[in-house]
Amino acid sequence: MRTQVVIVGAGPSGLLLGQLLSRQGIDNVILERKSADYVLSRIRAGVLEPGTVDLLNEAGVGQRLAEEGLPHDGFSLAFEGRLQRVDLKGLTGKQVTVYGQTEVTQDLMDARQAAGTASFYEAEDVQLHDFEGASPRVSFTFEGRRHEIACDFIAGCDGFHGICRASVPAGAIETFERVYPFGWLGLLVDQPPAAHELVYASSPFGFALCSMRSQTRSRYYVQVPLDEKVEAWSDQRFFDELRRRVPEEVAAAVTAGPSLEKSIAPLRSFVAEPLRFGRLFLAGDAGHIVPPTGAKGLNLAASDVHYLFEALREHYAEHSNAGLDAYSGRALARVWKAVRFSWSMTNLLHLFPEASAFDQRIRRAEFDYLTQSQAALTSVAENYVGLPY
Ligand code: FAS
Ligand code: PHB
């Protein structure tokens, strides 16, 4: 087989890149390790930056998003029971859109299937070959038979645990990491949200987040120790813990119900440098991970895809490699600013096991500063809606 771009991974990064390439007439094949149902079963991000919405519209998959997405003009931070709204619209003129990653993935899958573009789900043992040279190849096993695809470029969109970054020689890549001493226990429930906007709450018992997927489906998180097991958390225990971590007026509006999904996600900050290795390009979680506190993970995947798509379009349409040569630096410049924001929000809102009394006073002073400074709130707002591409 031969194609122009082989995309490894059918998460949001791979599907969005594939859709943009196909609309530009650039031939591409997606190889995904799991089944489509498994990919859709993962409950992840919930907030889209306006830049991500624009890119999904450019990819021709913005219709359901426009009909079902919830535009939000702001969100709230709560600290020891005190609420501070961050007026995104008033401070930046922009909104974010609440629309689950599952829906984004479904819309992209539907579009790819409608276009009849080649995807191999349950592709096993993907291996990369000769990506440092001019003729890269990708081999994989599908339905028991080994296949090989010759291509011009490989897009590593296979997430944090994928094969693409792992295929880069150790001496050619540098990684930067911070692993946080806690995780997020998430719960999905078919009950109306506790508030009309998101509430990120810090309390003496730990962090909690009240989010949503629609006016009838809520998404909640509580910070848990790293060694916590989801089996130890009944729905009742979860809602009791959630209620005591959020301000009283929010707690009173939390409606419990049987969980549709419950899972624990570890939190880490991670960046690989560079993101390009010859004709292999890393995008999305394959190149970086952020704690979900700043709602940046999915949105960073979108900006990487924007840079990589533009670079590939330029290569084929204008016979220029300037975009490809600039990709890693451009993507990493935006990635690091989002990593900083996500790290700062995580430090502000979470209870660190080893935190001293001094650390606690610093966190309280930072929150007090936010409640008294338009400049401080504007900084949070412009990072939350997403810095320019
Ligand atoms: P993904 O990990 O989504 O997709 C990679 C794909 O590659 C997967 O389908 C995988 O099966 C496939 N793959 C892996 N190895 C392969 C191989 N060897 N061969 C073929 N295919 C392979 N972000 C937020 O903004 N808010 C959140 O609340 C949030 N919660 C999260 C919770 C969890 C548990 C995780 C893991 C991430 C969360 N994120 C969140 C971040 C998340 O949304 C990612 O940023 C987003 O999924 C990135 O998309 P991709 O880069 O496509 O990576
Ligand atoms: C979610 O709704 O899953 C969500 C929203 C905002 C975040 C993290 C997760 O920062």
- Cβ of residue 301 lying under 6 Å from some atom of ligand 1: yes
Ranges in the chain, pLDDT < 50: none
What is the pLDDT at residue 81? Answer: 86
- Cβ of residue 102 lying under 6 Å from some atom of ligand 1: no
* CA 43 from centre of chain: 11
Secondary-structure percent of the chain, ordered helix, strand, coil, rounded to 5: 40, 30, 30
Structural tokens at position 126: 């993907």
What is the pLDDT at residue 301? Answer: 98
- Cβ of residue 298 lying under 6 Å from some atom of ligand 1: yes
- Cβ of residue 330 lying under 6 Å from some atom of ligand 1: no
Q: For residues 13 and 275, give the distance between their C-alpha atoms in angstroms, rounded to a whole number.
A: 14
Cα(358) to centroid(ligand 1), Å: 36
Reported as a single tens digit per residue, the pLDDT across 151-201 is 999 999 999 999 999 999 999 999 999 999 999 999 999 999 999 999 999
By percentage, how much of the chain surpasses pLDDT 90?
98
- Cβ of residue 74 lying under 6 Å from some atom of ligand 1: no
Reduce the DSSP state of residue 324 to 3 states and report it. Answer: helix
Q: For residues 69 and 65, give the distance between their C-alpha atoms in angstroms, rounded to a whole number.
A: 5
Cα(291) to centroid(ligand 1), Å: 13
What is the pLDDT at residue 162? Answer: 98
Q: Where are the domains positioned within the chain? A: 5-71+97-177+268-346, 180-267+352-385
What is the pLDDT at residue 25? Answer: 97
Q: Which of 307, 290, 315, 262 shows the shortest CA–CA distance to 383?
A: 290
Q: For residues 282 and 259, give the distance between their C-alpha atoms in angstroms, rounded to a whole number.
A: 35
Structural tokens at position 201: 């709450």
Structural tokens at position 269: 């900050």
- Cβ of residue 308 lying under 6 Å from some atom of ligand 2: no
Structural tokens at position 36: 């489509």
- CB count, 10 Å around CB of 292? 23
Give all strands (DSSP E) within the chain, no chain letters.
5-8, 28-32, 47-48, 70-72, 75-79, 82-86, 96-98, 119-121, 124-129, 137-142, 145-150, 153-156, 174-189, 199-203, 206-212, 218-225, 259-273, 276-277, 280-282, 288-289
Q: For residues 225 and 206, give the distance between their C-alpha atoms in angstroms, rounded to a whole number.
A: 10
- CA-nearest residue for atom 34, ligand 1, is 265
- Round the CA-based radius of gyration of the chain to a whole number and report it: 21
Residue count of the chain: 389
CB 222 within 8 A of CB 208: yes
Structural tokens at position 82: 């005190």
- CA-nearest residue for atom 7, ligand 2, is 295
Report the top-level CATH class of 180-267+352-385. Answer: alpha beta
Ligand showing the shortest atom-to-Cα distance for residue 197: 2
Alpha helices by DSSP H, 116-252 = 235-245, 248-251
Q: Which residues carry out catalysis?
A: 72, 200, 292, 296, 384
CATH superfamily assigned to domain 5-71+97-177+268-346: FAD/NAD(P)-binding domain (3.50.50.60)
Counting from 1 in the atom list of ligand 2, the atom nearest the Cα of 186 is 3
Cα(210) to centroid(ligand 2), Å: 8
